[in-house]
Structure formats: C-alpha cells, structure tokens
Amino acid sequence: MKGDPLPAEHHVARHCRNKDLILTNGEPTGVSESAFEPKPDESDGLSANWLEFFGDDRQHNVAGVRSVTKLTVKRSHRIAILSVGVITLAGASANLRVCRR
C-alpha cells in the first residue's frame, strides 16, 4: 500500500544520464551524487523504480524499469541499482525512507 516501506532485501533503480556517471577507461564504474538530485517534479521525494515489482529475474526487472521511465533514454544513459537496506542504513541519520508510492 502507498507509504509502506519496501523490504530491505529489495532494490530500487534510478535513471542516470551520461553526466551522472563516473567513468574509468570510458566505462561506467559508478554514479555521482548528481544522479540523486531531485528533478523539478520531485518536490515531495526522490523518484526511483522498485525492481522487484517486476518479478524475480534481474534482466526482466531492468527491462520493466526501462519500459516505464518517462525520460528520453539515450544509448549513453544507464540505470543505477541500489539496495533498499543500504539506502536505509546510510540515510538513518537523515531519516531517509524507501516507500511505495
């Protein structure tokens, strides 16, 4: 239900533009904090997609995330996948929550 926390063992995905990526030898190896700056329409929280909503298969999950993104996806873009449990632990001092919307 809306507002319910996601399970710690689940994951969320965030669409990242080329400028958000950390590159090593031309290959993405990380994501900069700019990928997690709220977009203009995210005044009430940062938007991400719940991977396990699309099932148990990672390839299918990522395809599901790609299918619902509202952004124009370019070849140079990537999807950052983050653990809900890690976000919760890292954000404990800032009272971050990962919830259904």
Residue 71: what pLDDT? Answer: 66
User: Would you state the pLDDT for residue 47?
Assistant: 82
3-state secondary structure of 62: helix
| Structure confidence by residue, pLDDT tens digits, 52-79 | 999 889 999 888 888 887 667 777 788 8
Q: What is the pLDDT of residues 17-50, one digit of tens each?
A: 888 899 899 888 888 888 878 778 777 778 888 9
Domain chopping of the chain, boundaries: 11-82
DSSP assignments along 43-98, one per residue: TTS---EEGGGG-S-HHHHHHHHHHH--SPP-TT-EEEEEEHHHHHHHTGGGT---
Q: Determine which of 75-79, 90-94, 96-100 has the lowest per-residue pLDDT on average.
A: 90-94
Q: What is the pLDDT of residue 99?
A: 86
Closest CA to 99 of 1, 6, 28, 14: 6
